[in-house]
Amino acid sequence: MSVSELRILENGDELAREAADFVVWAGEQALKSAGTFRLALSGGSTPKALYALLAGPGFARRFDWSRAAIFFGDERCVPPDHADSNFRMANETLFKPLKLAGDRIFRMRSEDEPALAAGRYEDGIRKEFGAPAPAWPRFDLILLGLGDDGHTASLFPGTPALRERQRLIVPNQAPQGTKQRLTFTAPLINQAHAVVFLVSGRSKAPALKAVLEDRAADPERYPAKLIQPDNGRLIWFLDHAAAAELPVEQQRVISHEE
Ligand code: 6PG
């Protein structure tokens, strides 16, 4: 069972900077220990500032992204150039600015039939990690967000994906927006060496309190509670607004250099 590490920053920009420092640090550690850095990106809007920082002058030269293998923790089932596509967001903010080669970017083929796309993505992960079933691939770092409703990746309240214990990747349904999704499962996420949540904004405060503070809160209602790395770090990068409903002693604003 992992212990949650909280890092509460003044605002979204400071959160992105602190998270960028951590991503680069985690990448350097992975290169030292394994010669590669396998990470999964989060979708949504919060990570945009992080990805733009990583691709910017302050960070781009601190890490050799050509040695990374970049995956996606979930995707909306739309074409890769669609406005809702998580790949498109990462491509615009990170891949293109860094001029990353496509062979190190593992896109979910979300334009294909969902079950087929999920199976192919799972096969691709197992091949890249050299981890045939029933082994569980261990990502170096998985980035996640938190929805106002307590979802993470595309693990939404009351959906079948929450109860998956064998597969790495499954199709799932979102309650609104682009409903058809592909997502990492909780068991896959919980194998990671490090899981980082990026949570910004006052609208996240009630769900964050339920996930972090309410032992009685049901993971079926707050799926982010399922994320408990078996043997890895769990770090929450929060801004003050998202942390507003946490106990006062956890309100301190900190900034960490790894
Ligand atoms: C997605 C994400 C999703 C996201 C949360 C938070 O595909 O949308 O994987 O889990 O991280 O909904 O989204 P925001 O960062 O936009 O608040």
Chain segment 18-61, per-residue pLDDT in tens: 999 999 999 999 999 999 999 999 999 999 999 999 999 999 99
- Residues with Cβ < 8 Å from 145, sequence gap 6 or more? 42, 43, 44, 46, 47, 152, 197, 198, 199
From the CA of 151, how far away is ligand 1's center (Å)?
8
Domain 4-60+69-251 annotated CATH 3.40.50.1360 = yes
Give the residue extent of every domain in the chain: 4-60+69-251
Nearest to 114 by CA among 161, 66, 61, 57: 161
Residue 176 one-letter amino acid:
Q
Nearest CA to ligand 1 atom 11: 145
| 144 Cα nearest atom in ligand 1 | 11
* Residue 2 DSSP one-character state: P
d(CA 171, CA 112): 11
Nearest CA to ligand 1 atom 2: 43
Q: Which residues pair with 141 in a beta bridge?
A: 39
- Residues with Cβ < 8 Å from 212, sequence gap 6 or more? 4, 6, 236, 246
pLDDT tens column, 142-187:
999 999 999 999 999 999 999 999 999 999 999 999 999 999 999 9
Average per-residue pLDDT in the chain? 95
Please give the angle made by the CA atoms of 17, 13 and 186, to the nearest 5 degrees: 70
From the CA of 85, how far away is ligand 1's center (Å)?
11
Left, alpha or beta for 87 (phi > 0: left; psi -120 to 50: alpha)?
alpha
From the CA of 33, how far away is ligand 1's center (Å)?
30
d(CA 169, CA 119): 7
**pLDDT at residue 253 above 70?**
no
| 76, 146, 189: residue to mutate for ligand 1 pocket, most atoms within 8 A of CB | 146
Nearest CA to ligand 1 atom 10: 153
From the CA of 153, how far away is ligand 1's center (Å)?
7
d(CA 224, CA 212): 9
Q: What is the mean pLDDT of residues 104-108?
A: 97
Q: Are 138 and 230 in contact (CB under 8 A)?
A: no
d(CA 148, CA 45): 13
| 15, 48, 51, 74: residue to mutate for ligand 1 pocket, most atoms within 8 A of CB | 74
Which long-range contacts does 54-63 make (Cβ < 8 Å, 24+ apart)? 54/20, 54/23, 54/24, 54/94, 54/98, 55/93, 55/94, 55/97, 55/98, 56/97, 58/20, 59/20, 59/24, 60/97, 60/98, 62/24, 63/23, 63/24, 63/27, 63/28, 63/37
**In whole angstroms, how far apart are CA 241 and each of 151, 173, 187, 214, 253?**
18, 29, 30, 19, 11
Q: How confident is the model at residue 4 (pLDDT cuts 50, 70, 90)?
A: confident
| 89, 151, 204: residue to mutate for ligand 1 pocket, most atoms within 8 A of CB | 151
Alpha-carbon 63 to chain mean position: 19
**pLDDT at residue 257 above 60?**
no
Q: Helix (H, G, I), strand (E, B), or coil: what is residue 168?
A: coil
Query: Which protein residues touch ligand 1 with a CB less than 6 Å away?
Result: 42-46, 74, 86, 145-147, 151-154
Peptide bond into 134 cis (omega under 30): yes
From the CA of 45, how far away is ligand 1's center (Å)?
7
pLDDT at 190: 98
